[in-house]
Structures are given as structure tokens and as C-alpha cells.
Amino acid sequence: MKLGFESLEDLSAGAVFLATGGGGDPYTSYLATLQVLKRTGPVELIPVEDLDDDAFVPAIGGVGAPSVSLEMLPSVDDPIKALQAFEEHVGRTVDAVVPFEIGGGNSMVPLIAAAERGIPVVNGDGMGRALPEAQMMTYPIAGVAPTPAVALDYAGNRVTFSTDSTAVFERHVRSVAAAMGGMITTVEHPMTGRQLKSCIVPDTISFSIEIGRILREFRGNALRTFHPLRDAFAQSLYGDIFHLYTGKVVDHSSTVIGGYDIGEAVLEPFDNDTAPLKINIKNEYLVARIGEKVVASVPDLITVLDYETSTPINAERLRYGQRVTVLGIGCPAFYRRDDAMAVVAPRCFGFDFDFVSIEDLTGHHQALPGTG
């Protein structure tokens, strides 16, 4: 499948939807990718099955504080320079690239590198969403080593890493990102085709384009978008989609702690006395509670849409007074495995409760307000 510049706007919108509040605003990455694909022509998007078992495929993307990329704009040259630096470092060429995460700008970075190098992008990613730390990717959970890996900064400075532990790699790369200005491009977790087939969250790039298309064609509030979204998710590896809340933002706090956006948002209904909805944020929307009752939690997806247009809203874009609809979605089955839960369960983020799936929390037939 060819992915041309015409698909980027839908990809961008869908990637924000799946990013569950994190991943950074993809607008500047979208502009950079648009410029490259208009010049190079479409990039080839291949299903993971098309990879040879011994193909050599690293993950590529940006690492840092999402808010930095609003001020330090991404360069169209960084992804290809980072890929070249990686190839020099390991002494071989790569056969394809794959995203870290489908969320936000990191859905775009691999497209730029692949277009410039004339190699395919594998359709899928290592999170099926956005998550704040590297060890939460499916790749390391499945046993892929994080290194050899390369980080490149805006000035062309390079750092390479060598460690067996992705948790250690995460600490090193996070500190280098801070020293290098807050946002870097990394090429990491090199995999064989065989390895990638065992752990990729498949088809998320094309699915993201599909979600973006629905949001565009059915632009309007949740009464208009919910059913086509539900149909699309029902046929995906995410499964059911649930309406959690509709209301207005009455409180929102956010602080940068340890390189992350840490915060909380409180929503109240427009005109009834339903208890408030609280959302805990660490880059991403992690936990949603109505009163004291958890209604959705990581690794399941929590997405906030503008009430009037259903445009997904990143956590750093939440503002007092916004009228929003909050949706919850099951996560890919991979993240319900024990080995994945060991690194992405609510307790891994410091919450004092065990994961319960959104199906069990919310019930299978959550009504949409105005239709139920």
C-alpha cells in the first residue's frame, strides 16, 4: 500500500485520537512529512507479514517532552540523519523502519526516514497508542534488546547506547534528551522480521488513517461520530469503544516533573448532577474516575474529544471551560498479557489499584447520551 501526502491529514487526526492525550501535537511533524512526501512521492507501507524473517528493522521516533516540540520545530533532516548514523554505528543497512508508537508526531517520523531512504515503513507500531516510557513498548516486553541505538540532536551531535535493559536505556535516553535540548530523534530496538512479527501492534498506521477519515467525514459531536467510530473499532484489534462522559473542563492542572507532564483534569456535566469525572495525566490520560469509581485505566485507552467537532484533544491542549466528550477503548490483547501488565498496569504508574478491563468496568452496552 502506498501512503502519499494526501493521507497525512487523516493519519495525523487519527494518531491524536489513539495517542490518548500524549504523543505530542503532530502538527509540525505533519508539515515536515508533507513537505518530504510531496518531494519524494508516496512511501511504501507494508504489512509485517511481508517482511523476511531475517530483515533488519529498527524503531525510530522522537524522544523528549512533547511541549518542547511546540517551540523547537522538528527538522525534515533529522530522521534520515539519525537513520544514517544508526547504519554507520551498526555497520549494516536497514530494510525497513517501524514507529515506536502510533500516537502523535511519532507516527510521522518513520515516514520521513523511509521516504528519504527509499525503504518501506512497517504498518504497525510498538504501543498501539502512546505511553510515556520506552520499556512500555511491545518490543522490549517481547524480549527485544534496546540497543545498539543512536540519538541525534538538532545540531547533529550523536550519542550511542549499549545496554540490555530497556528500563536502563529509558533512563539514559531521557537524560540525554534533556541535555540535548529537550527533544531528540532515536533509532533503537533493532529487530529481525521474525521478532517484529511476534510483537508489533499491527496495522495501526492504516487504522489511524481510517479513524482520521471518519473524524473528517462525520465531523460533528459524538452523536454523529460515535457509531462509525464504534464500527471501525469493533473490526480492529482494540474492540469495543465506550462513551464515558460528556461535560466541561472545570479544573486542569499540569506541571512538568522529571521530564513528564503530570496533571489532573476535572470535568462536570453541562446540566445535571452526575458526579465529576477526574482524569489523571502523565503525558497521557491514564485513569478516569467518576466520583471514586474508576471507569477506565491504562493500558486501556482514554480519549478526549471536543464536544462540538469530535476533534481529539491532547493533554497539553486541555483548557478550562472546554466542552468535551470522553471515550474509553479496550487496548490491544498484547497489553493484557501478564508480561505486559508487569510494566503498564496502573500500579506501574503509582496508582493503588489493579487493572480491570474497560469491558468489566463500564459494561458492554454503554449508552450514548441522547441515544440511550
User: What is the binding site for a second copy (CB under 8 A)?
Assistant: 85, 155, 157-163, 165, 168, 171-172, 174-176, 178-180
Residue 73 beta carbon to a second copy: minimum distance, rounded to whole angstroms: 20
Nearer to a second copy, 134 or 327 (CB): 134
Residue 162 beta carbon to a second copy: minimum distance, rounded to whole angstroms: 4
DSSP 217: H
Residue 131 beta carbon to a second copy: minimum distance, rounded to whole angstroms: 20
Nearer to a second copy, 176 or 340 (CB): 176
**Cell numbers at 198, concatenated:** 511476534
Residue 83 three-state SS = helix
Task: Give the β-pairing of 149-152 and 2-3.
Answer: unpaired
Nearer to a second copy, 48 or 149 (CB): 149
Neighbouring C-beta atoms of residue 365, cutoff 10 Å = 8
Instruction: Give the DSSP H or E segment for 64.
Output: strand 56-64
Task: Give the β-pairing of 121-122 and 43-46.
Answer: parallel
Distance CA 51, CA 138 (A): 18
Cross-strand partners of 262: 255, 282
Distance CA 295, CA 291 (A): 10
Nearer to a second copy, 35 or 175 (CB): 175
Contacts of 172 (CB under 8 A, 6+ apart): 161, 163
Residue 151 beta carbon to a second copy: minimum distance, rounded to whole angstroms: 9
User: Is the separation of the CB atoms in 230 and 241 below 8 Å?
Assistant: yes
Distance CA 103, CA 129 (A): 5
Residue 68 beta carbon to a second copy: minimum distance, rounded to whole angstroms: 15
**Cell numbers at 312, concatenated:** 481529539
Cross-strand partners of 60: 99, 187
Nearer to a second copy, 152 or 196 (CB): 152
User: Is the separation of the CB atoms in 147 and 161 below 8 Å?
Assistant: yes
Nearer to a second copy, 175 or 371 (CB): 175
Residue 186 beta carbon to a second copy: minimum distance, rounded to whole angstroms: 13
Residue 117 beta carbon to a second copy: minimum distance, rounded to whole angstroms: 20
Nearer to a second copy, 1 or 178 (CB): 178
